[in-house]
Chain A
Amino acid sequence: MSRYIARRLLSIIPLLIAVSLVVFAMSKALPGDPVEIFLQQADIANPELVNAMKDKYGLNDPLPVQYWTWLSLMFQGDMGESIRRGEAVSDLLFRGMRNTFSVATASVLLVIVVGWTMGVLSAVVHNRSWPQVITRFLAQVPVLMLSIPGFAVAVFMVLIFGISLGWLPTSGVSNPRAGADDLIDLGKHLILPTIGLALASVGGNWRLARNTMIEVLREDYIRMAHAKGLPLWRVYFLHGLRTTLVPLLTSAGLLFGSLLTGSFILEYIFAWPGIGLLLVESTVNRDVPVVMGATIMIASMYIFLNLAVDILYAIVDPRVRYA
């Protein structure tokens, strides 16, 4: 196992370099100069300043030199400086990732608590031949969740719970009158974005958990467990659930990655200063250092999450072993 992990870790380095090369090439292929865009938007027309800034950010160097400079600094832990904001890329990414991480984590928790729980319960109810109204209802709710776009629900929730009822904040990560570390305040701000972001995933995982559990409960070993006279809770939650968790864990791992990068629309609606907004804004403004840094960070996270999921496989399902 440890050799497997070491090998996987080593393979990450060339993968990340390849990703950075592709992103760098694509960024440079886009029309528009980042410094000119930046100064134009600030209504500053000064060719000397344009040139000085290009020198400062190395934009007058040949492209291979630019890339090599970036790469060598990157290996020293320096992601460079944002052309647009004049701030260290690492600071910008940390701030954006912190905000996105909080809403993505809350979303995954919601998926686990609601999606998985309801999925497993639906399967149990289905297996116990409860009235059809209930089983069908529990089967259709996740379809409904999958059908309604999360951003549409988010806008609706802002109108109802934010503006009309005033129960929940409509945007941002904190109440400006609250302290910076007020967790209750952060929790309140998380509710609507989390629901908007996680809604479809809750529905998807609900269905996945239900279908998987139903299949598992039809397996021979479950029948054997029943025949042995084991209590129902033991059959369902020790024998059935354990097998069901394998695909769910894979789903959760990938879900977390996709929520981290796919939260842009929700960040947009809720004015949530996360990595999605930062990445899109930086791409539009050709702020290459930020785009490169963000891409590398997101790619790394995907790779590490995949690795973590693979390791979890082996823990949850002892049949899975790596040479």
Chain B
Amino acid sequence: MRSAITLESVDLTHSQHRVFKDLSMNFEKGLWHSVLGRSGVGKTSLLRLIAGLQKPDAGEIRFDNNASLKSQVAYVPQDDSLLPWLSIVDNVQLGPRLRGEATSATRERALKLLKDVGLREWRDNLPATLSGGMRQRVALARTLLENPPVVLMDEPFSRLDAITRHELQGVAFELLRGRTVILVTHDPAEALRLSHKVHVLQPGIPSRCPTLELESQPLRGIESDVLMQQLPQLWRLLEVQDSDAIEANSTS
């Protein structure tokens, strides 16, 4: 399968702290990829690198067909980042507004996307009047308006209650079907439910990121066999400590 994004021997230092050394990863086109790892291991830094918000010290990040970054990637930050002074429909068409390209056609598209996420009647409200789950739906609609082939999501469901999270995962999966999605998450069950592939970022230098390939189609139920079978293996990969990595390296 063709790669949408390839990271090759990437080094990154942040505030004199080495985040990645010689990190190589591959994200296949059209699949949902989850990136799991402990806090501080560099999950958000990885997304920022791919989004072009940070430059690597060394190495290369390549996109499919060597396309330009701007046309490839949409970023869904951890908090929904809705602008509190704009109405819901204007938040959805934030991209065209910022680029001075907002027209009646973009407004129509924004309204259609709001209908898709079930919030059309809220179009003239301000974000403060929406619940956390509804705000994330708006953020999703804003992402879809850009029509990107690659979507980067930084723990978008982490602040929601269990039921809302479950519902919104389903909505997001359906709406983003066919695109390459890289989802950073703390939650192994969420990664196993939604992904074709789970990448586990482990602490230690050089950087290591073993990948778990899942067989059945994502959007698995909470009692799915994949969840039951793979969770212990995923847990073992997550448990790897910095010292284990050093030991493994010296042995090899």
A joins B in a complex: no
Give me the interface of B with A, judged by CB distance under 8 Å: none
Q: Which residues of A contact B (CB under 8 A)?
A: none
